[in-house]
Structure 1
């Protein structure tokens, strides 16, 4: 048997392994057809059940934008008495990284149990000094899916969640990352706009459970007791459930949550998302919503405002179809809009780490809070209205006349949308 035989055999084995890995990671997508006339405010138990969660009443949520988020977060961490659980995707060396590391280290030196979970890919630029500061103080620092043979089948699976839980009594969830781009107030192209929420109330237990999932997966450690799961009294009027589970052979909870909500809207769907690449079934759901009289608007960065223009080009591929169906699309050119927010009918909101693309819906570990609270929806809609004033609405006629080079980049980028 000659060299060509062995080369062919190895190539065949490699192809077979690739198919096996693809099949093992594949999720079935839900069919976006809901035969229901009830408003979304009456269907929170259904949405929470479909996404393997439980709707919990009695919560309070405070909206925190841009750099102010870290001012509040670090102040609250500094008051921790028992535990701090910190999980994020992106951490880069810099001023903000030093501030966060110093506060976490300070609590660890004071006897607080500090657990830090960082995605191995997104946080590969964590500063050595920042890491040493935390570890020498006694923080337990772990990395999600390190590049090892053991993790070969899940190397593209990333921990994209942004979670902080303090003493099991309060939590922070949203889109903020630990890089200097998130400082300031989104006042220029170098400073990112983002939205997170400070959560109090019984649903904090569910957010703690989301942190525990990956912590236990990487360390084997389970934590129990009042320091992490204390008795929690009602703190407000918001009804909240948490979507984060990724069951085998089914769509992840965040995908079912976002897609089902599209089918339940009766008045309006307003989306703010940095990476908007809807699949065919979602595009059809948007079109059906418009036919029902729903006001559908999407606000996202332009290619010039994005940190990853290829993602915006991939999204451009289906703009014409969306525009023809009646969806209004807005691009913001001034800086990266990183908030991951969807509001439905002025009363229901989804906010968290989830992008509106296949990577978030099918591959990453994500978290979204689904909230029935008119006040929160109004606040998030106000954020939309603030940024849309300086955005450019895409005109269908002008869009169809965009150049051949632009169209080529759109279609080429879309071929890679699963891995962008």
Structure 2
């Protein structure tokens, strides 16, 4: 903790010696009185807010390990770009996946659009990347996607685990997007934020308020963006946030007519880095809705569960392969606590917008780097293994 040093000026006191002469003294003019110096008030140090203790600081964590033996790709592609007019996209989509699986930089380059190759951002380094499972789908009625199980990210910067990527293609059928994060920040929005277009990706929004009048939409939000580290948006190297208001006008056919960012102010703070599009920014609860006894019961459940994840014995009724079961429950890119205590947990009640869905109790487990693992409880106050854990990133609080 920094200390505040105050330097006080030294005060010099002059001693005056009076002499008594034998002869009568001459009349001496009365000196003009000098006002006493007024002491400068001691400055009061500005109060510095006490930082909230990091609940993860006193816990130990271990990273999970996944099998790293490459397996032949299983391309479950029954719905992957099956329309006749998407055969070029289908071919390039396959080529990109094969390039990642075989670490073939030339094949990767051949599948990508000129806009990506000329973007000024480097292509990801595929050295050491190990992918053990691949699932392809979408393109006919949904966005084409690939789910990749990354056992070893190598030099790519990708996180380990099972992650979902979305494809986009240019007019020539070349891949011009294959991102595990959200979509690229629109150029107009980037310019409104004072950012360089083409190198930023949207990571999420907080405190969103939308209003509509006829065909004009007014939005206010805190928008979080990340600067892409590579042309495919596999990872970001910088995260920033802006409080913005914007006006978007559409015509009667819902086509964009005009977009204007009417205000923009950067929100300072150390914003956490996301792992993929499933991470979400929020303000975690500061207290608990569960009693001390309930927290202890949940703590015991979590510690048993975390021990099973770490020693590779966790399975459940829908998956008896431990290596696959862990991917259903936990993100291996995030460390697993060795042991948690009731005092580090948080809990709140999740209210759904649909009144037919009963509220659920959420439990928040602290992880390093501003992340929280969030799970639901069943009506029997058991950790809901079916829904698993989601991962929330703590938005910085204002000083």
Same topology, TM > 0.5: no
- Range of TM-score over shorter length: under 0.3
Normalized against structure 2, the TM-score is what? 0.23
Q: Which has the higher contact order (CA 8 A, sep 6+)?
A: 1
Between structures 1 and 2, the one with greater helix share: 1
Bigger Rg, which one: 2
Normalized against structure 1, the TM-score is what? 0.22
